[in-house]
């Protein structure tokens, strides 16, 4: 079933008005018409099963058939702090992280990151990354569109993460798998958790020292070295499986 997002002011007691680019998508790409059913989310806490009533040039009107609250979101908020990777890897990371249930993605500029974005490039990348997040949210039936934040420096990201309940940061020299399992198993519904992932070259020792001083918990991802586009998704997958009820 096709999935769309609307703001709260587009939702009335018995019907929803869909505006903007989704109108063209429904009308000219999907070629949908009156009588067909769609899923609409308010981007916060509700899914609406709807039936299209009318497809006009600037608006699609849909009748609300049923409402479901809080059905698809993880019971903990996972924040993925991703060191800027090369090429188009960030798009893959965002797509899969959103599918797995991440609440927010924060691109991070680290010392070993090859990628450096000026303001113009960052704005262009953010538009693309946010479109990827929206598309993945629709495809996976999310209630929200996870935000892709503006690029932060590593100290800025740690300052942001300090407000969360826990920060975990995988390190290739960490060895204690039992300790890692203990840390991850302590994450419970209602918590906010920051997951810090380095770029292709990993984190520098000075960055790890700073993270540790600010309370980040070092973990291991096992005996194998994972690529930057794999590491975060591995942790999110473990936590999503653990948190789902």
Q: Same structural domain for residues 143 and 183?
A: yes
Q: Are 34 and 54 in contact (CB under 8 A)?
A: yes
Whether the pLDDT of residue 244 is over 90: the answer is: no
Position 98 scores a pLDDT of: 96
> What is the average pLDDT value for the chain, to the nearest integer?
89
Q: Is the pLDDT higher at 186 or at 75?
A: 186
Q: Domain boundary residue among 35, 50, 69?
A: 69
Q: Same structural domain for residues 207 and 125?
A: yes
Position 70 scores a pLDDT of: 64
Q: Domain boundary residue among 69, 97, 113?
A: 69
Position 148 scores a pLDDT of: 96
Domain that holds residue 217: 77-243
The proportion of the chain whose per-residue pLDDT surpasses 70, expressed as a percent, equals: 99
**The total number of structural domains that make up the chain:** 2
The alpha carbon dihedral of 26, 30, 36, 41 has a sign of negative
Whether the pLDDT of residue 3 is over 90: the answer is: no
Is the whole model's pTM more than 0.85, yes or no? Answer: no
Q: Same structural domain for residues 43 and 159?
A: no
Q: Same structural domain for residues 125 and 226?
A: yes
Q: Same structural domain for residues 156 and 174?
A: yes
Q: In this structure, what token pair is assigned to residue 46?
A: 């509700």
Domain of 18: which CATH number? 2.40.240.20
Whether the pLDDT of residue 43 is over 80: the answer is: no
Q: Same structural domain for residues 38 and 110?
A: no
Whether the pLDDT of residue 174 is over 80: the answer is: no
Domain of 132: which CATH number? 3.40.1280.10
Instruction: Write out pLDDT tens, residues 113-148.
Output: 777 777 888 899 899 999 999 999 988 888 888 999
Which range (67-71, 151-155, 183-187) has the least confidence? 67-71
Q: Same structural domain for residues 156 and 215?
A: yes
The proportion of the chain whose per-residue pLDDT surpasses 90, expressed as a percent, equals: 52
Q: Domain boundary residue among 45, 69, 93?
A: 69
Band of pLDDT at residue 1, cut at 50, 70 and 90: confident
Q: Same structural domain for residues 36 and 97?
A: no
Q: Same structural domain for residues 134 and 206?
A: yes
Whether the pLDDT of residue 17 is over 90: the answer is: yes
């Amino acid at each position: 079933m096709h999935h769309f997002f609307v703001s709260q002011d587009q939702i009335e007691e018995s019907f929803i008005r869909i505006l903007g680019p989704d109108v063209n998508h429904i009308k000219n790409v999907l070629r949908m018409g009156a009588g067909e059913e769609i899923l609409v989310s308010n981007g916060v806490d509700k899914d609406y099963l709807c039936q299209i009533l009318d497809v006009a040039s600037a608006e699609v009107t849909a009748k609300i058939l049923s409402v479901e609250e809080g059905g698809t979101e993880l019971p903990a908020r996972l924040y993925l702090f991703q060191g800027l990777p090369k090429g188009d890897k960030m798009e893959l990371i965002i797509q899969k992280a959103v599918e797995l249930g991440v609440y927010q993605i924060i691109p991070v500029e680290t010392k070993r990151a090859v990628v450096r974005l000026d303001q113009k490039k960052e704005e262009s990348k953010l538009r693309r990354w946010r479109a990827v997040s929206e598309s993945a949210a629709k495809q996976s039936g999310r209630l929200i569109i996870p935000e892709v934040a503006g690029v932060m420096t590593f100290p800025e990201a740690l300052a942001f993460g300090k407000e969360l309940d826990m920060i975990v940061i995988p390190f290739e020299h960490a060895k204690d798998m039992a300790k890692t399992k203990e840390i991850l198993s302590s994450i419970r519904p209602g918590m906010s958790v920051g997951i810090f992932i380095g770029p292709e070259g990993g984190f520098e020792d000075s960055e790890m020292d700073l993270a540790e001083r600010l309370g980040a918990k070092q973990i291991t991802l096992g005996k194998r070295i994972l690529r930057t586009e794999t590491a975060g998704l591995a942790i999110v997958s473990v936590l999503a499986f653990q948190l789902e009820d």
